[in-house]
Structure 1
């Protein structure tokens, strides 16, 4: 039976990079920039919490 394991360290790295890109490199005229940035930050905090457990 296959089980799904979560690699929170890798997810945290990816999310930190996404937050950096959306804060620094994404065109401010992009309509979904703020919404995506908020989602990335929320998921990053959740992943950090889950990684500590």
Structure 2
């Protein structure tokens, strides 16, 4: 999932430099959502709610 976050951030940066602000905003929003999901899952694992076998 971290790979997808990095891909979306690169897409957002390139799109912003090329002037595609709508695409850059959509990619940045997607990256932001994925970062939130990763952080929530990380906290759940740390707190022991989800056990990784």
> Who wins on radius of gyration, i.e. which is larger?
2
- Whose helix proportion is higher, 1 or 2? 2
What's the TM-score bracket when you normalise by the shorter of the two chains?
0.3 to 0.5
**TM-score normalized with structure 2 length:** 0.48
**TM-score normalized with structure 1 length:** 0.48
